[in-house]
A = this chain, B = another copy of it.
């Protein structure tokens, strides 16, 4: 009985050791990915949120007097861009909170459900950012190329700077989406690995 008693903790210990190292590695990777994802969504939010261009266009002449109109392109004029800002802003706040919890609240747990809750929230944020980025991308494509069937003219020939800045917001948002997908996948894998280290698992 004594030998069995000695063997078991050794086995458990070695397995737990390996898994703990893996978990620590996963945690570090996720921490770095979250920082980069936060920077990406935050910059996407700011770049799109500050996107506006004012342009004075010649719209006609009365006699020899040119008639000019001042037009303004703002991200607020397009619902998809507003949603883009909200989605990326939400993802930024979420990742910031998660970073805070990761760094300062490692002991925070709710009935061992911490990882489950994080995995589910990660998945929801992936969906939100995917929706925001792709909606804005299709609207940007319309602004760039227009749609001859619907008689919607492109606007990027008139508002070049607005379109460039919009494109500049889309890139970090798609990078963030890839990072969030990765974070979510790692969360799920960590949840799977946790079964080897969990107190429920080792002492049933």
Proximity bits, A22-52, B CB within 8 Å = 1, else 0? 0000000000000000000000000000000
Q: Does A79 lie at the interface of the complex (its beta carbon under 8 Å from any beta carbon of B)?
A: yes
Q: Does A54 lie at the interface of the complex (its beta carbon under 8 Å from any beta carbon of B)?
A: no
Q: Which of A130-185 contact B (CB under 8 A)?
A: 130-135, 137-139, 141-143, 147, 149-153, 155, 177, 181, 184-185
CB distance from A51 to the nearest CB of B (A): 13
Q: Which residue of B lies closest to A76 (CB)?
A: B149
CB neighbours of A12 from chain B (8 A): 204
Interface size on A, residues (CB 8 A): 58
Evaluate contact between A138 and B135: CB separation under 8 angstroms. Answer: yes
- Report how far A113 CA is from B195 CA in the complex, Å: 12
Evaluate contact between A123 and B188: CB separation under 8 angstroms. Answer: yes
Q: Does A200 lie at the interface of the complex (its beta carbon under 8 Å from any beta carbon of B)?
A: yes
Evaluate contact between A123 and B184: CB separation under 8 angstroms. Answer: yes
What are 11 A-B contacts defined by CB distance under 8 Å? A11-B204, A77-B149, A78-B150, A119-B119, A120-B189, A127-B130, A130-B131, A134-B135, A135-B137, A142-B152, A151-B153
Residues of chain A at the chain B interface (Cβ within 8 Å): 1, 8, 11-12, 15, 72-74, 77-80, 83, 113, 115-116, 119-120, 123-124, 126-128, 130-135, 137-139, 141-143, 147, 149-153, 155, 177, 181, 184-185, 188-189, 191-192, 194-196, 198, 200-202, 204
